[in-house]
Structure 1
Amino acid sequence: MLKRGELLAGSSTKPLQWTIESNSGRQGDMADQASGNNEVHIQLKLKQTDAKILQAIEEALWRIEQGTYGVCRDCGEPIAEARLKAIPWTRVCIVCKEKQKA
């Protein structure tokens, strides 16, 4: 979890900035411009996802310090070890997650 957080925290915004700048000065047909805009949109979404995961990791580390890591936020039951291995920053057990989806 720490390694993933460090990787996300260390990711640079320069590739995104470069894409925005290079697309803003591009000439070309509408398809080229649409493709460039789509690329920028995808990169923005990836950055937002990385930021959300990083925040979730930081919250999980805080829960470890508080002694509440591995306890479901919604029902208070322990979160299955397999779920924590799959998604170490999860805050809810699988039963509560499925209820949220319904």
Structure 2
Amino acid sequence: MQCKICSSPVEKAFEAEILQKYQEGFYKCQSCGFLGADEAHWLSEAYTNAINASDTGIVARNLSLYKIVSLIAYNIFGFRSKNVIGGGGEHTC
């Protein structure tokens, strides 16, 4: 199997239960460190329902937390990108 980012070899890092019914393997790239699932066939099911319709602070939390994640990625892990891509979309730091 190859990395979805840099096409280098990947190694199985761990398995996790997704949506309380799918056993999914997660793989880590030996070159760039990308960690991801093989085939996330459960993604559409995971995003079927809103997290919570009454949660009006979800956007504000996501906007503030991406700044923290960006700082950690840049300072600790050495990622030198101006963009952070995550579950909430792509953000410019």
TM-score (norm 2): 0.28
Which fold has the larger relative contact order, with Cα–Cα distance below 8 Å and residues 6 or more apart in sequence?
1
Structure having the higher helix fraction is 1
Structure having the higher strand fraction is 2
Q: Which has the larger radius of gyration?
A: 1
